[in-house]
Structure 1
Amino acid sequence: MSNLRFKALELLSQKDYRKENAVEVPAKLSSLFCENVFSEETMREYLTKEAFMSIQNAIKSGLKIQRDVADQIAVAMKDWSISKGATHYTHWFQPLTGSTAEKHDSFFTPFESDRAIDRFSGGMLIQQEPDASSFPNGGIRNTFEARGYTAWDPTSPAFIMGTTLCIPSIFISYTGETLDYKAPLLRALHAVDEAATDICRSYFDKNVTKVIPTLGWEQEYFLVDSALYQSRPDLVITGKTLLGHSPAKGQQLDDHYFGSIPTRVMNFMKELEIKSIQLGIPVTTRHNEVAPNQFELAPMFEEVNVAVDHNSLLMDLMARVAHKHHFHILFHEKPFAGVNGSGKHNNWSLATDTGENLLSPGKNPKKNLQFLTFFVNTLKAVHDYADLLRVSIASAGNDHRLGANEAPPAIISTFIGSQLFGVLEELEKVKDGKLSPEEKTDLKLNVVGKIPNILLDNTDRNRTSPFAFTGNKFEIRAVGSSANCAEVMTVMNAIAAKQFKTFKIEVDALVESGLKKDEAIFNVLREYIKDSKNIMFEGDGYSEEWAIEAAKRGLNNLKTTPEALSRELDPKFIALFEELGIYTHREMEARNEIKLEKYSTVIAIEARVIADIARNHIIPCALKYQNRLIENVKGLKEIFGDTEYQTLAKEQMSLIRDISGHVSIIKVEVENLLEAIENAKSKSNSREMAESFCEEVIPFFAKIRNSSDELEMMVDDELWPLTKYRELLFTR
C-alpha cells in the first residue's frame, strides 16, 4: 500500500494533521469591517479636504483626479498601509486568464549610498507597466510587443492583503485595447447609469442624478482534504475528477443540504469571514449545499464593480484560508460526476442615489409604473440579446452543468411568476393611443396598483430558469462557479442600457405626437410585452417538452461553448458594444479568439491527463490484479486438477476476461483520443479547433471513463491507485 492514495489516507489518520485549527471570533464582527481597506472613513482621516473631495468626485461622477492631488492620495495610502504592516504595493487587476494578477513593488527606495526612504507617488498610484504579451490578448499584441499598462480604478477601494497594498486597476494594451474584465465593465456601468437616469429624470423623479447597478453573488464551492487532493493528478491539474466510480451514497438522501456544518469546515468558514470582513467584503450567509462536501457563501448586495472585485478577491482568499485548514477549494463547475456541480448566481438590480430600487414596486401608481418600466425593459433586453447573455456564461466547465438537472438549461428564458405574468397580460390589452379617463383609472387602480400585493405572494422560485425575477431583482442562475462575474455583468448592463435608450426614444416620439406621458409609456410597454413573450416560461426548464417548445418559439439551445461562441460576433452584438463604447470590433474578435483558444486548451489538457492516468495508473493496476487472479487460477489447477478447478475458478476466469476486455478498450480508446487531439490541433483556425475538440475529442472521455470505473469495482481496493469518491466526498 505505497501508492499516493494510501499515503494520503494514512496522513489523515494522524492526529496532528487532523487537529482542529480553532478560530476565535470577536464579539462583534462589525468592529472589523473594512479594517484593511482604504475606505471612505480612512480617507477622511488621512486625506486633506481637497484630496478627499477629488477622490469622491471621481467615484461618484467620474471626474478626473489631477496629478498633484494624486500625489497627496498616494502619500496618504502609503502612510496608512505602512501603519498596517505593508511593505509593498501592487496594481491588482483581472486579466483574461480567469484569475487575478499582481506585480509587487517595494516602497523601499535607496537614494544615497547608505540612506533610504519609503516612497510612493501619484505616478506610481495611477499607472504601472506589466508585460502585456504574456497575458491572453487574442492577437491584439505580438509576443515581441510587450508593453501594457495597468491604471488605477478609484471607484473600487484599495486594500491590504498580507504585507501588500493592492490597488484595483484596469489593464490595457500599449495601443489602448482592453485586456481585462474591469475596463469593459466600467464602460457598461456608465452606459446603464446614463440611460436609466435619463428615464428616471424625464418620467418619474427629477431628483435622481445617478443609477447604480447592484450585484449580489452566491458562491458555491467544494472543499476537499489537501492530502486527498494531492493524491489525484486529475484534480491537481484540471480541477476536476476525470475518472471515478460513483459512491453508494451521494446526495440521494438530501441530508447534506442546510445540514449541520462540520467542525473543521466551520473553522475554515469563521476565519474566512473574519478576513473577508476586514477586506470590506460583507459576507452574511454560509451553509451546506446539496452535494457532499459542497458549500455556499453569499454577501450583501453591493455596487456591481465593487461586488465583482470582491468576488475575485474572495476566491483568492478562500484558497489561502482553505490551505491553512488542510483543505483545497474546488471552484470547477463539475468536479465530481454524479453529484451536483457548483454555480454562482448573480442577483442584479438597479438602485438610485435617492435610495430607491427601480425593480421594486412602490406605494402609488406612479412608482409602480416606474417599476413596470424597468421590469418590462429588462425582459425586452434579455429577449433581444438572449444569445449574447448565453455567451457570457459559456465555458468548458459550465457545459457540464447547464441543463443537467442541477442548473438551468442553455436555453435563455425568464421566469416572473404567474401572477406578475397576469399583470403583463392585462397591460398587453391597453389599446393603442389615448386612454379615456375611465381606462386610466381602471389601469392604475386594478392593474398597476395591485402589483405590490401580488409580489408579496410571489415568493416561489423556479430553479430551472436561467433568468428569474425574485421580488426586487433578477437572478441570473446559469453563471459558473469559476467565472468572473464581470463578463455576465458587462453584458447584462450593456443590453439594459441599449434597451433603456431605445425606450426613451420611442416614448419621446409618442409624446411629441400628442400622447400624454403615461399613455406613451403604456403604449410602448405593451409592444415590448408582446415582443418578449417567447422567452417567458413558467414551467420545468429541465423537461424535454420545454426544449421542443423553445425551438418552436425560435429560441436557441446553444448546448456547448463552441456553439455559443459562434454567435458572439453577430453584427447585432458588435453594433451594440460599439455604439455604447464598451468594445471595439477588434476587441470583440480578440475576446472571441481568447475564449475559443481557452476552450481548446482546457479540453486538450483534460484529454492528456485522462490518457496519462489511464495508461500509467489504471492499466498497470488492473494488470497487477489480473496477474494475482491468474496465479490463483494456476494454484487451483495444481491442487484440484484439470476438471474440478474449472468449476472452482469460474468467477476468477470471468474476472480475468472482463479485466482484459476493459484494458483493451482503454488502450484502444486512449490511442484514438490522442489521434483525435492531434487532428483537432491541426485545424486551420481556432473555431474549427474548438469544434473538433468538442465533437471529436470529448466523446472518448466517457468511453475511457466507463471502462476505468468498471475496473475500479473489480480490482482489489488495496491496489486501486486513485483516491475514491467515497473518500473525497465524505472525509470531513
Structure 2
Amino acid sequence: MDYFGVNVFNESVMRERLPKNAFKSLKNTINKGLPLDPAVAEIVANAMKDWAIEKGATHFTHWFQPMTGATAEKHESFISPTTEGKVLMEFSGRELIKGEPDASSFPSGGLRATFEARGYTAWDCTSPAFLKEEGGVVTLCIPTAFCSYTGEALDKKTPLLRSMEALSKQAIRVLRLFGNETSSNVKSNVGPEQEYFLLDRKFFEKRLDLVLTGRTLFGAMSPKGQELGDHYCGSIKERVVAFMKEVNIELWKLGILAKTQHNELAPAQFELAPIYTSANIATDHNQLIMDILKKVAIRHGLVCLLHEKPFAGVNGSGKHNNWSLGTDDGLNLLEPGKTPHENAQFLTFLSAVVKAVDVYAELLRVSVENPGNEHRLGAHEAPPAIISIFLGDQLSDIFEQLANGGLKSSKQGGSITVGVNTLPTLAKDSTDRNRTSPFAFTGNKFEFRMVPSSLSVSGPNVVINTIVAETLSQIADRLEQAEDFDTELQLLLKEIALNHKRIIFDGNGYGEEWVQESRKRGLPHIKSMVEAVPHLISEKTIQVFSKHKVLSEKELHSRYEILMEQYIKNINIEAQTMIYMTKRQIIPAGIKYVSNLAASINSVKNASADAVVSTQEAILIETSKTLASLKEKLNQLEMATDEAKSIEEIYEKGVCYHDRVFMAMKALRIEADTLETIVDEELWPLPTYAQMLFML
C-alpha cells in the first residue's frame, strides 16, 4: 500500500496537481474521447514535469510499441538554455503531445522507403505516464502511438485504440436497443497471464543458441522432465521467491496489478498473472512485465526466457489472453446471471462472439503467429491449431436449443460433492474449464489460450475487438429495422446458433478424433505461420478492418510483409546459429572424443585386453557413424539455406524456409542430440538440459 502506483502519474496524482477545470477536461478526453484542449495539455505537461523532477527524473521519453513487438524510447532531457549560460527545466504541452523519433529503421512493411526517416509519436492520454527506474536513473515515460509522416500506423498501439473505439461504438448501439441509456462507453478488458522460464545465467552464457535465438537449438532430453508433475504449483525455491518479490515490487510501483505467481508444469517454468484492466493499458502493462522479468532476473544471476519453446521435450510458454466486455458504469456484458436462457442481452453479446470467432477463425489464427508458437500449437501442450470455442455444458445446451427453435430450460449449476465429510459442498460453476480449447468461455469472460508468451497482446485483441464489433454491427443493423424487437431477436439468435454452432466444441482438442471431426465441420486447420499469414490480406480481412477504420488495406499489406520477414529472418538466424555451433563446437567435441577413444584402443590393445577393446571399438564405430551423419545433415542444411536465400518473392522464400530449412534443422538436431548422449560429458561444450532445468 505504501508504494503501489508511486511511479505512475495516475488519476489521484492528477487530481492533486491539476486545477479542477484542467482535470475535468482531461478526464472528459480520456473517458469520452473528446478532443484534447492544447491549453490543458500545457498545464498537464508542467505538472507532469514537476512531479517527475521531484522523483529524480532528468529526462523524458515518448514510450511506444513499434512493429518489432518490443518497446522503443528516445530520451530527451528537460533542460533548456538561458541567456546567462544556465539551464531551466522545461517541458511544454507540444513536447507532451508530439514527438518525432527517426522511423527509418523500424519495420514498416513497405509503408515507407528507407530514406524516409520521419515518424511521429502522439500522446495516448488514456494510458498513464510512468517513471522507469534503471541503474539509479529515473526517466519519465509517456505512452504514445507511433505513425508515419503520411498517417499510417507504424505500431501496435494505434490499431488497438482504433479497435476499442469501433467495438465501443457498435456495443453501445446494441445496448440502446435493450433500453440501456446510461452506459456511454464499452471497453474490452484484458488480463494476460504470462508464462516464462528461468535459468542460471552461467548456463545461458555458455549457450550461443540461447543468446542469439532465445531457445535451445540442440539438447538431448534430461533423464527427468515434467512427467512426475512435481514442479507444477509446488514449493517455490528461495532464489526464485526472492526474484518474484523484487518483480512484484517493481510492478506494483508502476501500478501493475500483479496478482498470481506459481510454478508451471515444466521444470524451471513459472507464471505471473495480473488483474484485469482495459485492453490498451493491459497491453502497456504486459510489455512492462516482460521487460521487468528480464531485467530483474539479471540482478539475481538468472536469465528470463520468454521464447515459446526454449526447451524441446517439455512444455513451452504461452500467454492466456482473458478478454471481457465492460461498460463505463460497471456492467460486465458477458456475465450470464442466474438463468442465462432468460438473459437476452447476455445471449446477444455471447452470440456475437461465437459468430465472430467462426467467421474470422483464420484471422484469429494469424493474430497469434510468431515463429516460436509453431512449436506449441497442436503439440498436446497448448491448444490445437484448429480454432474452436468451449462454452461448457449449460451454454452449449442453450445454443443447441436456440438452433432447434427456442429456449425452454437451462441446465442449472448444481453442486460438486467433494467426497470428504469434513469438507463443504461446493457450488458448481455453470462451466468447467477446458485447457485444450483455443477460445474458452470461463464464466464471465473468454480465455484466448493460443497467444504466444513473447508476443504483444495488442494484435490478438485488435482482432477480437474488430471482429466482434463487426458482428455487433450486423446485429444492430438488423434489430434497428425490426418492427417487433423480441420476435426479430429470437429469430436472429436462432440463425446465429444454427449457422455457427459448428465452432462450439467442448471435448478433447488434443485427440485425433477432433482433427477428423473439425474437417467434417469445415473448420480451417492452419498448421504453420507461413500458411496463416496470407489470410491477413484476404478480401474478408481487408473488408472488416477497413469498414471499422482499424487498419487500411495498405496497413494490412505492410503487416503481411513484416510477419513474413520476421519468420524468414528468424529461421535464418536459427539456421546460421546451428551451422556455426555444429562446425565450431559439436563436431570438434565429437572428433576429440573419437581421437581419445582411438588412442585408448591402441593402448588397451598393447595390454591384450580384448573384451575392453571390443567395447571401445563398438563405441568408436557408433560415434564415427553419428559424426558422419551429422556432417551430412550439416551439408544439407547449408544447401537448403543457400537455396532459400536465393529466392526473391517473399512468400515463396518463406515457404522454402519452412519446408526446406526448418526441416533440415530438425534433421541436424537429431544427429547432434544423439552425439551428446555418447560423448564424454567433460568434452561436451554445451550445458545439458538436466543442468539448465534442474540446477536453479
Which of 344, 347, 354 is equivalent to 1:372?
347
Measured in 1, the distance between the counterparts of 2:364 and 2:57 equals 41
Measured in 2, the distance between the counterparts of 1:145 and 1:263 equals 51
Alignment of 1:495-534 (within 5 A): 495-509=467-481, 511-512=482-483, 515=484, 517-534=485-502
Measured in 2, the distance between the counterparts of 1:488 and 1:89 equals 30
Aligned to 2:541: 573
Secondary structure in 1 matching 2:535? coil
- Code of the residue aligned with 2:479 in structure 1: it is V
Measured in 2, the distance between the counterparts of 1:452 and 1:405 equals 29
Alignment of 1:160-179 (within 5 A): 160-162=131-133, 163-179=138-154
Secondary structure in 2 matching 1:296? strand
Aligned to 1:660: 624
Aligned to 1:477: 449
C-alpha contact (below 8 Å) 1:558/1:564 kept by paired residues: yes
Alignment of 1:145-294 (within 5 A): 145-162=116-133, 163-294=138-269
Structure 1 portions without partners, runs of 5+: 1-29, 432-442
Aligned to 2:310: 335
Deviations 1:619-643 (A, max 9, x none): 0001101111100111122222xxx
Aligned to 1:349: 324
Shift in Å, 1:263? 0.4
Q: What's the TM-score once normalised by structure 1's chain length?
A: 0.91
RMSD: 1.5
Secondary structure in 1 matching 2:304? strand
Aligned to 2:420: none
Which of 424, 432, 450 is equivalent to 1:460?
432
C-alpha contact (below 8 Å) 2:575/2:637 kept by paired residues: yes
Secondary structure in 1 matching 2:106? coil
Alignment of 1:298-697 (within 5 A): 298-362=273-337, 368-430=343-405, 443=407, 446-447=408-409, 456-509=428-481, 511-512=482-483, 515=484, 517-640=485-608, 645=610, 647-697=611-661
Q: Do structure 1's residue 704 and structure 2's residue 668 form an aligned pair?
A: yes
Shift in Å, 1:456? 4.7
Measured in 1, the distance between the counterparts of 2:339 and 2:441 equals 21
C-alpha contact (below 8 Å) 1:363/1:452 kept by paired residues: no
Secondary structure in 2 matching 1:319? helix
Measured in 2, the distance between the counterparts of 1:275 and 1:416 equals 37
Secondary structure in 1 matching 2:320? strand
Secondary structure in 2 matching 1:167? strand
Shift in Å, 1:685? 1.4
C-alpha contact (below 8 Å) 2:399/2:501 kept by paired residues: no
- Code of the residue aligned with 1:167 in structure 2: it is I
- Code of the residue aligned with 1:497 in structure 2: it is A
Deviations 1:375-430 (A, max 9, x none): 11100010000000000001110000001111001100011112211111122233
C-alpha contact (below 8 Å) 1:228/1:728 kept by paired residues: yes
C-alpha contact (below 8 Å) 1:93/1:150 kept by paired residues: yes
Secondary structure in 2 matching 1:350? strand
Secondary structure in 2 matching 1:344? coil
Deviations 1:82-141 (A, max 9, x none): 111111000000001011100000012222352111010011101111111100000111
- Code of the residue aligned with 2:581 in structure 1: it is I
Measured in 1, the distance between the counterparts of 2:508 and 2:341 equals 34
Measured in 2, the distance between the counterparts of 1:276 and 1:175 equals 36
Q: More displaced, 366-375 or 252-261?
A: 366-375
* Change beyond 3 A, Cα 1:171–1:451: farther
Shift in Å, 1:697? 0.4
Measured in 1, the distance between the counterparts of 2:476 and 2:370 equals 35
- Code of the residue aligned with 1:498 in structure 2: it is E
Shift in Å, 1:672? 1.5
Measured in 2, the distance between the counterparts of 1:451 and 1:210 equals 32
Deviations 1:680-712 (A, max 9, x none): 122121111111100010111121111111111
Measured in 1, the distance between the counterparts of 2:168 and 2:409 equals 29
Measured in 2, the distance between the counterparts of 1:365 and 1:660 equals 68
Aligned to 1:142: 113
Q: Do structure 1's residue 77 and structure 2's residue 40 form an aligned pair?
A: no
- Code of the residue aligned with 1:140 in structure 2: it is L
C-alpha contact (below 8 Å) 1:362/1:452 kept by paired residues: no
Alignment of 1:44-59 (within 5 A): 44-59=15-30
Q: More displaced, 468-477 or 416-425?
A: 416-425
Alignment size in residue pairs: 681
Measured in 2, the distance between the counterparts of 1:346 and 1:139 equals 30
Measured in 2, the distance between the counterparts of 1:112 and 1:727 equals 63
Deviations 1:533-592 (A, max 9, x none): 111111111111111111111111111000001222110110000000011111100100
Measured in 1, the distance between the counterparts of 2:538 and 2:131 equals 42
Deviations 1:516-547 (A, max 9, x none): x2222111011001111111111111111111
